[in-house]
Amino acid sequence: MKKLLGAAIVTLGMAATAAGAQEPVRHAVNEAGHATAHAGKTVAKGTRHAANEAGHATAHAAKTTAKTTRHVANEAGHATAHAAKTTAAGARHAGNEVGHTTAHAAKVVTGQPTGRETQAMWSRAQVSQATALSTAQAQARGGTLYEQNREARNGQPVYEFKFRMGTSAKQKVVVDAVTGRVLESSRS
């Protein structure tokens, strides 16, 4: 029995030794598995992180490009609008200058005021056209009126009347619209 018991103890001892040897192996395998899984997880996480970073960088670059493109387009639009506004303002200014120059030239050539000047000048008139006509007819004695005009002389409003005197003679009478005085009476 001692022998049998000794063999059982030896067998148990070997099993314990084998079990003891297997445990570190299993533990080493488990550790290797965990390490591999952890490494795989880390690699996958790193790859996802790198992909996310690449995606973010690409999205940021696209957003920046789009923003820059919009900014460039806005700047081009603003520049075009400003150029159009400047051109329009320049054209208006040039048109005004041409108008003023033309009006000034007309005033210099004809001695006639234009626009507002005419209104302001004629607002000073104290004598009606009918009264001025009576004064002119007294000067032209027996002439037939064929033309009458409102004009300006030296910035003053005047009435000009033209009469036929018989078959070939003509008479021009100019009456001051402010004072009613005869400024000119000439026959031709």
**CATH code of the domain containing 120:** 3.10.450.40
Model confidence at 184: pLDDT above 80: yes
Kindly state whether residues 67 and 122 are assigned to the same domain. no
Q: Are residues 123 and 100 in the same domain?
A: no
Q: How far is CA 62 from the centre of its chain?
A: 29
pLDDT tens, residue by residue, 26-52: 777 778 777 777 777 766 777 777 777
Record the tokens describing residue 29, joined without a space: 């395998």
What is the gyration radius of the CA atoms in the chain, in angstroms?
57
Residues 16 and 78 in one domain: yes
128 φ, ψ (degrees, to nearest 5): -75, 160
Looking at 110, 138, 166, the residue that finishes a domain is 110
Residues 121, 176: one domain? yes
From 58, 89, 110, the end of a domain falls on 110
Q: What is the pLDDT of residue 109?
A: 45
Sign (positive or negative) of CA dihedral 48, 50, 53, 57? negative
Amino acid at 144: T
Residue 103 pLDDT: 54
Residues 61 and 80 in one domain: yes
pLDDT of residue 136 exceeding 90, the answer is yes
Residue 79 structure tokens: 């520049």
Same domain, 104 and 125: no
Q: Is 64 found in the same domain as 15?
A: yes
> Is 31 found in the same domain as 71?
yes
Range ranked top by mean pLDDT from 17-21, 71-75, 99-103: 71-75
pLDDT above 50 for 108: no
% of the chain beyond a pLDDT of 90: 27
Residue 82 and residue 14 in one domain? yes
- Residue 181: predicted pLDDT: 95
Q: Is the pTM of this model over 0.85?
A: no
The mean of the pLDDT values for the chain is: 75
Residue range(s) defining the domain that contains residue 34: 1-110
Q: How many domains does the chain have?
A: 2
Digit-coded pLDDT (tens) for 38-95 = 777 766 777 777 777 777 777 776 776 677 667 666 776 766 676 667 666 666 665 5
